[in-house]
Chains A and B, each alone.
Chain A
Amino acid sequence: MSSALVVVDMQRDLCLNARRREKVVAALPSILRLIDACSAAGCLIVYSVFSLPPDDEQFERFGDRYCIEGTPGAELISELLPLKGLKMAKQKHSVFFETDLDQMLRERGVRRVLFAGLQTQICILTSAADANFRGYKPLAVRECVISSNDQAKADALAWISRYVGGVLSVDEAIASVGSGSCRE
């Protein structure tokens, strides 16, 4: 079964935020291992980035401003460079919402989508649900998905397992793509 890796919103505004910085630092080695393994296996790798207009209405709802298009805060963190895949802009929580991701996955015959990045209980969760509704098997990679709130992360992973997909350890995820699954 062909796989793809989606690295969700690893941007400066979100990763350097004091509420998440420690969690990002802890997750980065696993994320980089996973990216390397997927790259070596020939998997499609997509880095999603929030790219929001300065007056985006979600800023008022969430009481915060972040990832405004063209600002340094919207850039991916430097630890991910050079990129080993495609950068894809999005404006809502799900990586599928009004993006070309579904089409990209279909063109490559992808059936299984690995998720890394942040936040687990929002964008990873909604993207996993969306992937399931579109016929893919979403798999969150436990050490590679990040949340500022440990309980929220645990609840989100339990939700994904219960309703839409599964959760793998980073070793399990690497082993699964290392078997050449992306080239099938």
Chain B
Amino acid sequence: MAPVVAVSDGFPWTARSVGEGVGAFDQFFAEEVLARFPSAELARRSDAARLDFGSLVLAVTCDGFTVDPLFFPGGDIGKLAVCGTANDLLTEGARPEWLLMSLVLEEGVDPNVVRRVLDSIGDQASRSGATLVGGDTKTIKSPMPGLIVMITGLGRIARQGPALGFEAVRAGDELVVTGPVGAHSVAVLSAREGLGFEQVVSSDCRDVGLSIGSLVMSSPWIHALRDATRGGLLGVLHELASATGMAVEIDADAVPVAREVIMAAEMLGLDPLELTNEGCFVIAVEAGTARRLTAELRATYGFPEAAAIGEVRDRADPLAKVLLRRGGEVRVSARPLSVGVPRLC
């Protein structure tokens, strides 16, 4: 069983901080969820559960999606929900085949908004090759009319060879990021607050498996992959370090970040490496294969800014879980208990 991180030392989690998906979530998960529902599968903290029926192995994931505004540059809550589900299943080597959808409508929501979201869900499900097979709808009172989308996704694990997952990561493995980080957060925040960036930055929301699914299924030298959603790239690196007990060191200067995202992050006092992505994966690969993967991602799979960013190695210092090289200096990255609040007032 992979170790579960207890990071809090008495920090009282709150509903808000748990929703941010970083340190406070680690505490909530370990102390409130895993303690009550102990299982080896849950302790893996994978983005999707692996259900082994012998001749059939399924990946299953369940996720709730909220975003304000519902429609943003590069996507909307419907596309986000299907792509997020597909990306979670990809971490286990599966594609989305069946979806169940639970909608929570907030009283007062414009029916045309609901129709647009449903159309978007249907469109993306079709693109991703998934069929909606069930679901539920409820209505709640809310001061701000909108809707919440919850999707359960199932797919057969098509991965050949060793299973994907942080358990498969070894010292010496190299790390590749598929694309520039931070665009989703900036696009959504800018569209919500009117910051001006919404016209030049679009969310990276996409079903990554449509591009690299076959590569992931057939490449035993790919050991693990994770989409860098809440908590961003650094969040994934911390999860990887905690799950494996090893150290992760990256060259922060090698991480691709769009100039406009750097501008917005600096304006808002945020770190691009901690911003949410919705179509960017961190991939751990066998030592010596990162350069090859990066070249293939750039040339063949539609990720022109993919980059090799670092490696996994034995942890010499128990506290040095994630190390960032920047400008020739190396510093230890601390796992934040909550994410920074954008500097807006």
Residues of A at the B interface (CB closer than 8 Å) are 55, 57-58, 61-62, 64, 90-94, 96-98, 119, 121-122, 125-127, 129-131, 133-134, 159, 163-164
Contacts and interface: CB of A to CB of B under 8 A. Distances in A.
Interface in B171-227: 193-197, 199-200
Contacts of B68: 57
Given A96-B196, A97-B196, 14 more contacts: A57-B144, A62-B345, A90-B194, A121-B343, A125-B267, A126-B267, A129-B197, A129-B263, A130-B199, A131-B196, A133-B197, A133-B200, A159-B263, A164-B263
Contact of A129 (B143, B195, B344): B195
Contact of A58 (B193, B196, B199, B200): B193
Contacts, number: 54
Interface of B: 68, 143-144, 193-197, 199-200, 263, 266-267, 343-345
B67 to A, nearest CB: 13
Question: Which residue among B68, B143, B196, B345 has the maximum number of chain A CB atoms within 10 Å of its CB?
Answer: B196
Nearest to B200: A133
From DSSP, what is the main secondary structure of chain B's interface residues? loop
A93 to B, nearest CB: 5
Given A55-B143, A62-B345, A94 B196 contact: yes
Contacts of A129: 195-197, 263, 267
A57 B106 CA distance: 15
B194 A97 contact: yes
A163 B194 contact: no
B263 A163 contact: yes
Contact of B196 (A62, A64, A130, A159): A130
Given A57-B144, A125-B267, A159-B267, A93 B200 contact: no
Nearest to A93: B194
5 contacts: A94-B196, A122-B344, A126-B195, A133-B199, A159-B267
A94 B200 CA distance: 14
Contacts of A119: 345
Contacts of B345: 62, 64, 119, 122
A126 B263 contact: no
A133 B199 CA distance: 8
Nearest to A128: B196
Contact of A126 (B143, B144, B196, B266): B196
Contacts of B263: 129, 159, 163-164
Given A125-B267, A129-B263, A93 B195 contact: yes
B329 to A, nearest CB: 22
Contacts of A131: 196
A177 to B, nearest CB: 24
Contacts of A125: 267
A98 B267 contact: no
Contacts of A55: 143
Question: Which residue among A93, A96, A131 has the maximum number of chain B CB atoms within 10 Å of its CB?
Answer: A93
A97 B196 CA distance: 7
Contacts of B194: 90-94, 97-98, 126
A109 to B, nearest CB: 21
A93 B198 CA distance: 12
What 6 A-B pairs come out closest when comparing CB atoms? A92-B194, A130-B196, A97-B194, A129-B196, A94-B196, A126-B195
A164 B199 CA distance: 15
Contacts of B267: 125-126, 129, 159
Nearest to A134: B199
A93 B344 contact: yes
A127 to B, nearest CB: 7
B199 to A, nearest CB: 6
A64 B193 CA distance: 15
A159 B263 CA distance: 8
A64 B345 CA distance: 10
Contacts of B193: 58, 92-93, 126
A136 to B, nearest CB: 11
A88 to B, nearest CB: 14
B343 A127 contact: no
A70 to B, nearest CB: 21
Contacts of A91: 194
A142 to B, nearest CB: 18
Nearest to B144: A57
B121 to A, nearest CB: 24
A156 to B, nearest CB: 8
Nearest to A125: B267
A98 to B, nearest CB: 7
